[in-house]
Structure 1
């Protein structure tokens, strides 16, 4: 327990002392005030510290966030047992030792059963409040922590995605200038055409690099334009073939992915007029395939690996679909997933975190409702019993609200802590997982 808890218990003791001293004490003197304060402090600190220690122990061994239902059941059982013992202990100290109103035999004979029972209900009220307060504080802390974590993940993913996209500018420019440098020496006229075409293509790069996804049609058109640049340099040494289904043109791929893969084909393979490099771009089973006949060249300088790695990472940030790579003695193929829409899996984690927070908040409201019901029960029922026994002790009508309302509280507990919609959802999920494992779904 914390220091503030002891301060609260002190103020509770003082408030209780003032109430009993001015309403119940006939002789209002310092001695009676001190005695009332001693008794009130005993009840407040023994019951308060006892329940606080139990709550702290359960928080360490079984936090609310890890096993809510088990923790709720264990809390109810523990506070019933603990408060029964604590109240009997305090009443024995009060009536037998401090006030000396009864002997030990009289106390356990049943004369003080009503007093004990009444005090137990008051103690249960305090315990229910402490456990409900502990639950709400922990759940609020955990849900806020989860939302913060989700937002940090999403921000990190956004930053990573932006970093990957920003690699495209220098990467494209560097490779294009290398090609242009070669053409200046080999064919100045072609170099001029290449420069004009490169400006158009680079405009597309600047337009598309900030997008998460582009249509297959846009990417194909850009790839064809880029292939014309490559043909300018390699002429008959490189051939290109585009076969894409019409229904796939309106679907989506990562922008500039084809351009990066086409660069890889040229970079890692030699091409001559006698042994031309054939690059095919075609759609197959919801994938966009880029395939070339394998004519691997020996690279003097090790590749930086920006192209293919960039594509793989950007797909990983946007979808669960994987980029597949196939390699044999004759060909090298990369399969890019064709997406039906514009998924934003990572970027929706902020919204998911907000939904999780709203769901947790709703859960808190449900449990607050249960504890409010339980607290009301613990307050009203003892009051009704007191009224019944003081006005008409022969006719015990208090059993009707005690049992009727008690059944309602028990039903409410089952609904909140497992035997309600949450239980049904768990059971449905369990059956679906079982059927999925057996191959029925």
Structure 2
């Protein structure tokens, strides 16, 4: 327990002792006042401290959020056993050792069994309150933590993805202007055509850059248009070969991936009429491949690698499949995974999410209902016992509501935490998961 809890117990015991001293003590002496404080602190620190330490211990070993059913069963069993032991210990120290009102034999007689039973119910009330309070605090803490984590993950992923996509605009524009500036000097007429074509291509860039995935067919058509522009500048120095299977056209790749890789081919390799640069775009085993013969150009400054790293990072955000890079003395190849379907960015459908929320809400209400029932039992039954014993009634009628309500409370506990609808749902899910795993193994 924390230091603040001990301070709270001290003030509670002091307040209780003052109440009993001024309300029920006939001889108001300093000695009796000290006795009252001692007895009050005995019960406060032993019962309150013991239940508090038990709750803290269970919170560390078996948190509510990780194993609700197991924790509830252990909490009920442990508080019953612990309070039974602590109450008998406190009462024995109080009546036998401190007040010396009775002997040990008398303390364990039938008369004091009723007093012990009454005190046990009061202790159970305190313990039930502490455990219910701990459950609600843990539930709120877990809910806040999950919400914050999901918001941070979503914000981080969105920011990272937007950052990657925003790199495309300046990268594409910079390379296109370099090509245009070269054409203006070499062939002004072609430069005009290039400018018109570049505007069409840039329109495609603006349309597709906000998309997470595009079809292979759209990307190939765009790549062909872009290759025609490159062909305008390099003429016979560069050859492009497209050999993508028609059945792969409806698969998906990240947008502008071919354009970035084509730029890299031109940027890092020299091309002449005698030694043309041959760039092949083809499909191979579920991947879209871009391959060129290696004719490495001497670099004045080291490349930033923004194009290829951009593609790799965008794929990492969308799928577990990797981008493969192969390099030999003769060729350089990049393999892009072709996805058969767009991945679900949201793992749970809205309808399923609503149903899951309603189930969780219903579960929380069931648990809260049980603890409300338990706290009510611990308040009302001791009150009935008090009335029955101190009114001098010969018949102990409090046993009937205590046993009847106790049986109902036990049934409620089994229904909420172990046996009942929740247990049936668990078994159904378990059987369905087994059948699902068996079917997956046969595929």
1:47–1:86 Cα contact (<8 Å) kept = yes
What is the TM-score when the length of structure 1 is the normalising length? 0.80
Other-structure match for 1:206: 206
Structure 2: gaps spanning 5 or more residues? none
Q: Which consecutive residues of structure 1, in runs of 5 or more, have no partner in the other structure?
A: none
- Classify 1:312/1:217 alpha carbon distance in 2 versus 1 (closer, same or farther; 3 Å): same
Aligned to 1:338: 339
Matched with 2:259 is 259
The residue number in structure 1 matching 2:4 is: 3
Q: Deviations over 1:212-233 (max 9, x none)?
A: 3334443333222211111101
Residue of structure 2 equivalent to 1:309? 309
Assess, with a 3 A threshold, how the Cα gap between structure 1 residues 136 and 411 changes in structure 2: closer, same or farther.
same
SS of alignment partner, residue 46 of structure 2: helix
1:152 lines up with 2:152 in the alignment = yes
RMSD: 4.2
How many angstroms apart in 2 are the aligned matches of 1:208 and 1:96? 86
Taking the TM superposition and a 5 Å limit, the aligned residue runs for 1:8-87 are 10-11=11-12, 14=15, 18=19, 25=24, 30=28, 34=33, 39-87=39-87
RCO higher in structure (CA 8 A, sep ≥6): 1
CA distance in 1 between partners of 2:217 and 2:39 (Å):
84
Contact 1:260 1:308 in 2 (8 A): yes
- Partner of 2:122, secondary structure, is helix
Separation of aligned partners in 1, 2:432 and 2:6: 42
Residues 23-69 of structure 1: per-residue CA shift (max 9 Å, x gap): xx5x7674699576765554334311221122223334444344444
Q: How far apart in 2 are the matches of 1:143 and 1:431?
A: 30
TM-score where L is the length of structure 2: 0.79
In the alignment, what sits opposite 1:405?
408
* Corresponding residue for residue 297 of structure 1: 296
Which residue of 1 is the match for residue 178 of structure 2?
A: 178
Kindly provide the CA deviation profile for residues 412-439 of structure 1, in whole angstroms up to 9, marking residues without a partner as x. Answer: 3533899725743774587469748x93
Q: What SS class does the counterpart of residue 130 from structure 1 fall into? A: helix
Superposed CA offset, 1:349-397 (max 9, x none): 9999999988766554443233223333434555566778846349964
1:199 alignment partner, SS class: helix
Relative distance call for 1:281 and 1:168 in structure 2 (3 A) is same
Aligned partners of 2:247, 2:10: CA distance in 1, in Å? 73
Report the CA distance shift for 1:75/1:433 in structure 2 as closer, same or farther (over 3 A). Answer: farther
SS at match of 1:112: helix
Aligned partner of 2:395 in structure 1 is: 392
Instruction: Check conservation: 1:282, 1:290, Cα contact below 8 A.
Output: yes
Contact 1:209 1:255 in 2 (8 A): yes
Distance 1:419 1:117 in 2: 33
d(CA) in 2 for partners of 1:237 and 1:41?
Answer: 95
Q: Deviations over 1:265-322 (max 9, x none)?
A: 33344444455444344456654x1333423324434332111211111122133343
Q: 1:15 Cα shift?
A: 6.4
Q: 10-19 vs 316-325, which deviates more?
A: 10-19
8 Å CA contact 2:242–2:282 kept in 1: the answer is yes
Task: Give yes or no for contact 2:201–2:222 (8 Å, CA) kept in 1.
Answer: yes
Hey, what's the Cα distance between the residues in 2 that align with 1:184 and 1:165?
Answer: 30
Aligned residues: 435
Give the corresponding residue for 2:89: 89
Q: Distance in 2 between matches of 1:413 and 1:51?
A: 23
Decide whether aligned partners of structure 1 residues 275 and 432 sit closer, same or farther in structure 2, where only a CA change above 3 A counts: farther
- For residue 223 of structure 2, give the secondary structure of its aligned residue in structure 1: helix
SS of the residue 2:418 aligns to: helix
Q: Distance in 2 between matches of 1:317 and 1:374?
A: 49
Distance in 2, Cα, partners of 1:357 & 1:149 = 17
- Summarize the Cα distance change of 1:333–1:382 in structure 2 as closer, same or farther, 3 Å threshold: same
Give yes or no for contact 1:277–1:292 (8 Å, CA) kept in 2. Answer: no
For residues 95-244 of structure 1, what are the structure 2 equivalents within 5 Å? 95-243=95-243
189-198 or 123-132: which moved more?
189-198
Report if aligned partners of 2:9, 2:48 keep a CA contact under 8 Å in 1: no
Deviation by residue 1:310-338 (Cα, 9 ceiling, x = unmatched): 11111221333433445565662422323
User: Counterparts in 2 of 1:405-424, with a 5 A limit?
Assistant: 405-412=408-415, 414-415=417-418, 420=423, 423-424=426-427
**Any idea what SS the aligned residue of 1:340 has?**
coil
Question: Higher mean Cα deviation, 388-397 or 363-372?
Answer: 388-397
Q: CA deviation at 1:112?
A: 1.0
Secondary structure of residue in 1 paired with 2:441: coil
Distance between the aligned counterparts of 2:206 and 2:408, measured in 1?
Answer: 70
- Structure 1 pair 53–4 and aligned structure 2 pair: CA distance change class (3 A): closer
Cα deviation, 1:59-88, whole Å, max 9, x if unaligned, reads 344443444444434433332232112211
